[in-house]
A and B are shown apart, each in its own frame.
Chain A
Amino acid sequence: MLKPLFRALFANRLFLAGGGIVVLFALLALAAPALSHAHILREPFKQDQKALDTEGMPLGPERGYWLGTDNLGRDVLARVVHGARVSLTVGTAAMVMATVIGVAVGVLAGFYGGKLDLGLMRFTEMMMTIPPILLAIALASLMDGKIIHLHPASVHWHFLDVELRRGMVSLFLVIGFVCWPGMVRVIRAQVLALKEREYVQAARVLGASNLRLIFRHIMPNLLPIVIVTAAMSTANTILLEAGLGYLGIGVPPPAPSWGAMISDGQAYFTLSPHMVIVPGVAICLTVLAFNLLGQGLQDVLDVQQKR
């Protein structure tokens, strides 16, 4: 039953290009510690005197440092690859959170209608009036303070071998919380349309409860639009993570975060532009990949996306 779908997906160039880059980056991110261990990649934290020139400035792409070094003598390539771990983990976790909230709010508002709809949609609109970056900054400073302890000092995700440090958890919570309002309208519109379909009406007449209607009849048909929105919103969460890192409120140093690498490199831009160019290209490629993936899925699943 899924065969034609897969055939259509693999015939779609946008999906292939986007999916290819995402898979490649995810594999690199997963393999990064092993690569460093096997000395194929350098250590992302190791500061090497020999990796600076005679005046103590960063090296350009040369002498075994494929993408040059940074101002502390760390290998930029290693840091970019290890940075993918931060970016992809935070981006994906935030996307999952945003999708869960967005779908929940959209389904509740669309299905139940009335006062609940009015209240939820007003709240969503209100959230949308605040610029996401400002809201994220306010939340981030709030959560990293001593007021709310929403996260333990660090979380070990053994299956990924990723250590979510203090800051990383609050980071994805913040980004997820900022990104959900953009999804609600699309989901709600779809629920409104699905609710009126004959089979849903028929199930209702046969005495199906509201919960059963939502989970058995509406949710499965929401899946395509949710998948597309989720892919596209991952692009947003990754951009936002980079932006917060750039402003210095991302994962705390010395963790390699692409946004923070750009802001570190700015001071050396005129002499060592690679410090800014390399992480920037990494962000662009990742975000582009998720956007292409979303576009491809949208074409194949035939979802009309409304803004």
Chain B
Amino acid sequence: MPLRLLNRLFWSVVTLLGTATLIFLLTSVVPGDVARIIAGPKATPEVLQQVRQRYHLDQPVPVRLIHYYGQLARGDLGHSFVTDQPVAQAILTRLPCTAALCATAVVMWMLVAIPAGVLTAKYRGSWFDRAILVLATIGLSLPAFWLARMLQYSMGYKLGWFPVAGFRSFGHLLLPAATLAVLYAGYYARLIHTSMAEVLDTAYVRAARAKGQSETAVLFRHAFRNALIPVVTILGMDIAALLGGVLFTESVFALPGIGTLAVQSVFNLDVPVIMGTVMFSATMIVAANLLVDVLYRRIDPRIKAAH
């Protein structure tokens, strides 16, 4: 078991190194003279030279790449070209906002998806099942930026029920979280549906019914617990992806989160921040992968037995 874990850990690090290399190569050939972006259009050649030296831009790409690996190993993501703030700090100060948004959104969509998924699995093929399928497909088809604007306009501006933009209180998170919840609820209802449907066909559920357990107990105590395992895996991955930046929703509602940081950095060609946010989100996803894999074995003894 520890050997397997070490193996997984090794490959996670390799994946992250690969991502770092890819994103470094992509950004190091970005159009435009990076030194000129930092120093401004009116900079003299001497100033440009100084800037190049300070950011090691005068060195060949392989040397800079190795330098970058060293930086990453120390947990240093460099400094922003625009604000000169350490990138790691910029990300960490924005993490709470994004995390709070994600947590609110996850609670919202699971509150809808769990009952919908369980009930559609119980009443498979009913009109309710079909309606949820269609709603879920519609949810998957909405562009996030458009949905965010529409909710902002209708609920925030026209009806005035929620704050329109910014982040000063929990209430400011409700509309953005609702946007995410609309996008994800149907998808999760379907996931829970599929997983529940599989479990409901198993022998132990039949046994539970046969011994006269109430339907609620069968559904929730016996079936749902096992049905949740694969759903939690995907939930873990999705949360990781969301923490890496909810680009559109955050920008539309002007939330000071990681997504807004990423979008701003792209438009400013703020290379260290672009690389930093990508590396942060990649780390989140790889870590979630690892965590889910480990937890999975703990929760479900069947997997260990299979190996």
Chain A contacts to B: CB under 8 angstroms? 122-123, 125-131, 133-134, 137-139, 141-142, 144-147, 235, 239, 242-243, 246-247, 259, 262, 266, 269-270, 273, 276-277, 280, 283-284, 287-288, 291-292, 295, 307
Contact = CB atoms under 8 A, between A and B. Distances in A.
15 contacts: A122-B11, A123-B18, A129-B19, A129-B281, A129-B286, A130-B19, A130-B22, A131-B245, A133-B247, A246-B145, A259-B145, A270-B157, A280-B146, A287-B142, A291-B137
Contacts of B30: 138, 141-142, 145
B102 to A, nearest CB: 14
A247 B19 CA distance: 24
A21 to B, nearest CB: 11
B199 interface: no
B89 interface: no
Given A128-B285, A137-B266, A283-B146, 7 more contacts: A123-B18, A131-B262, A138-B23, A138-B27, A276-B150, A280-B143, A284-B141
Interface in B17-52: 18-19, 22-23, 26-27, 29-32
B213 interface: no
B292 to A, nearest CB: 13
Range for the number of chain B residues in contact with chain A: 35 or more
A295 B130 CA distance: 12
B141 to A, nearest CB: 4
A288 B135 CA distance: 10
B14 interface: yes
Nearest to A133: B247
B29 A147 contact: yes
A134 B149 contact: no
A142 B26 contact: yes
Contacts of A243: 143-145, 248
Contacts of B161: none
A307 B237 CA distance: 12
Contacts of A291: 137, 140-141
Interface in B255-307: 262-263, 266, 269, 274, 277-278, 281-282, 285-286
B132 interface: no
Contacts of A307: 234
A122 B14 contact: yes
A130 B266 CA distance: 14
Given A246-B145, A276-B149, A283-B146, A131 B247 contact: yes
Contact of A288 (B141, B144, B286): B141
Contacts, number: 120
A287 B183 CA distance: 13
A122 B14 CA distance: 9
B93 to A, nearest CB: 20
B59 interface: no
A158 to B, nearest CB: 32
Contact of B150 (A130, A131, A235, A280): A280
A288 B153 CA distance: 23
B234 A134 contact: no
B241 A122 contact: no
B220 to A, nearest CB: 25
Interface string B108-125: 000000000000000000
A50 B34 CA distance: 46
B145 A134 contact: no
A239 B15 contact: no
B21 to A, nearest CB: 9
A261 B70 CA distance: 44
Given A122-B14, A131-B241, A262 B23 contact: no
Contact of B23 (A130, A246, A270): A130
A277 B143 contact: no
B141 A134 contact: no
A126 B141 contact: no
A129 to B, nearest CB: 4
Contacts of A144: 31
A129 B16 CA distance: 8
B234 to A, nearest CB: 7
Contacts of A127: 22
Given A129-B282, A138-B23, A276-B149, A288 B241 contact: no
Contact of A142 (B11, B14, B29): B29
B15 A126 contact: yes
A134 B274 contact: yes
Contact of B26 (A139, A288, A295): A139
B16 to A, nearest CB: 8
Interface string B226-261: 000000001000000100110110000000000000
B149 A138 contact: no
B103 interface: no
A14 to B, nearest CB: 8
A142 B16 CA distance: 22
Nearest to A128: B285
Q: Which of A128, A147, A235 has the most CB of B within 10 A?
A: A128
A82 B285 CA distance: 39
A127 B140 CA distance: 22
A50 B25 CA distance: 51
A134 B19 contact: no
A263 to B, nearest CB: 8
B138 interface: yes
Contacts of A247: 263
Interface string B67-80: 00000000000000
Top 5 closest pairs, chain A to chain B, by CB:
A145-B31, A129-B282, A280-B146, A288-B141, A287-B141
Interface in B81-106: none
